[in-house]
Amino acid sequence: MSEVTGTTWTVYDANSMSQAEIYGHVLCEIGEERDDVVGLTADLAKSTKIGLFGDKFPERFFNVGIAEQNLFGVAAGMALSGMTPFVSTMAAFASMRACEQVRTDICYQNLNCKIIATHGGISFGTAGSTHNAQEDVAIMRSFPNMTVIIPADGIETANAVRACVDWDGPVYIRVGRGFEPTWYDTEDYGFQIGKAVTVSEGTDITLICCGVTVLQAAEAAKVLKEEDGLSVRVLNLHTIKPLDEEAVLKAVLETRRVITFEEHNIYGGLGSAVADVIAESGKGCAFEKVGLPDAFSLVGYPEDLYAHYKLDTNGIIEKVREVMGRDFEEDEDWEDEV
């Protein structure tokens, strides 16, 4: 196992471990500390890496076979019995095949079920639209009681998984498929559910990101500073719900230009959540949502797809330059805008 000892936690060598793998190891650690934690999957023990927990705690691990609806129903029952289930399958199946079980069995009863969904977005790009999840955030954030988190990388996945154990109620954590590059090199940067993390300070424009786009935006910000002299703020808004509205409003007031980047349909995800806050604030702002267009994704390797959908560093740079040239009311008199 590629693992080195860190200051606060065990720090995982996230460059050679997938997000899912890190999740699997973290869950094993949690399993040591908490005997109420139980693992559940639907024939994806290996793909989602929850199987690592299963190997270590076979008496607390249940594979229900290829039956996702039963998976979430059983998880709800186990939560009702007093246990804390961690449930893993692909994001597409958690959010769509088992949509009603997640909503009605788990959220309606506000149960302590932690859904760690892998293969989020288009990270399983060659598998095509049956296995992509470009709607899951919209679905999950529309359920009362649900908390929705998209970690930026493997390190943040470790933080999110640890944080969700004691977070009351259902949590949906969406991670990628494979060896997504990492932004963080330590877990010790103040991760808190519901609080945005400032990746870089800036005053000209704010890029609000989650998941894989965090690293890409951070890289773009460096290039834009060097080549265009721009001061670019990058926010890692890992928690889509509850949303850190204060961080969004601060970005609007201080930079007056905002772009969201996400691996999700532009309808209903991070961009929509941020747009709601901006619209209700009554403040003028140049704003654009960048994500997957309202169409089923092309087939391809994730890095090619990210480039195609302007979610990689070059795409982000291009979008920033475009939005920097956009007009909007720039005076400081907010009264006439409310």
Partner 1 sequence: MALTDAEIKELEAQAWQLRHDIINVTVWAGGAHIGGGLSMLDILVLLYFKYLNIDAAQPEKEDRDRVVVSKGHGGVGFAPVLARRGYFDFDDLKTFNQFGSPFGMHLDAAKVTGVDVSTGSLGHGLPMAVGLALGARTQNKAWKTYCILGDGECNEGTVWEAAMSASHFGLTNLVTIVDRNGYMIDGATEEVMELEPFSDKWRAFGFTVLEVDGHNFADLAEAIDTSLAADGPCVIIAHTKKGRGIDYMEGNVKWHYGSIDSTLADKARASVDRMYGKA
CB of 268 to partner 1, least distance (A): 23
* In the complex, least distance from residue 170 CB atom to partner 1, rounded to whole angstroms: 14
Cβ-based neighbours of 50, under 8 Å, separated by 6 or more: 23, 24, 27, 39, 40, 41, 44, 61, 86, 88, 116
Residue 5, Cβ density class (10 Å: 0-12 exposed, 13-18 middle, ≥19 buried): exposed
Of the candidates 221, 150, 212, the one whose C-alpha atom is nearest the C-alpha of residue 181 is: 212
Instruction: Indicate whether 142 belongs to the interface with partner 1 (CB under 8 A).
Output: no
The 8-class DSSP code of residue 226 comes to H
In the chain, the N- to C-terminal Cα span, in Å, equals 56
CB atoms within 10 A of CB 279: 11
Site string for partner 1, 28-57 (x = CB under 8 A): ----------x-------------------
Candidates 106-114, 131-139, 193-201, 325-333; binding stretch for partner 1 (CB under 8 A): 106-114
The least distance separating partner 1 from the CB of residue 171, rounded to whole angstroms, comes to 18
* Torsion angle of C-alpha atoms 256, 261, 262, 266, degrees rounded to 10: 70
**Residue 60 in the binding site for partner 1 (CB under 8 A):** yes
Q: Which is nearer to partner 1, 78 or 320 (CB)?
A: 78
Is 145 an interacting residue with respect to partner 1 (CB under 8 A)?
no
Mapped onto helix, strand or coil, the DSSP state of residue 2 is: coil
Distance between CA 221 and CA 215 in Å, rounded?
10
Q: Which stretch binds partner 1 (CB under 8 A): 2-10, 19-27, 105-113, 327-335?
A: 105-113
Binding partner 1 by CB under 8 A: which of 47, 104, 129, 200?
104
Residues 43, 143, 41: CA angle, nearest 5 degrees: 10
Number of residues that bind partner 1 (CB under 8 A): 29
What does the per-residue mask of binding to partner 1 show for 66-95, with x meaning CB under 8 A?
A: -x-xx-xxxxxxxxxxxx-x----------
Least distance (Å) between residue 166 CB and partner 1: 19
Q: Is the CB of 31 or the CB of 315 nearer to partner 1? A: 31
Binding interface with partner 1 (CB under 8 A): 38, 59-60, 62, 64-65, 67, 69-70, 72-83, 85, 100-101, 104-105, 108-110
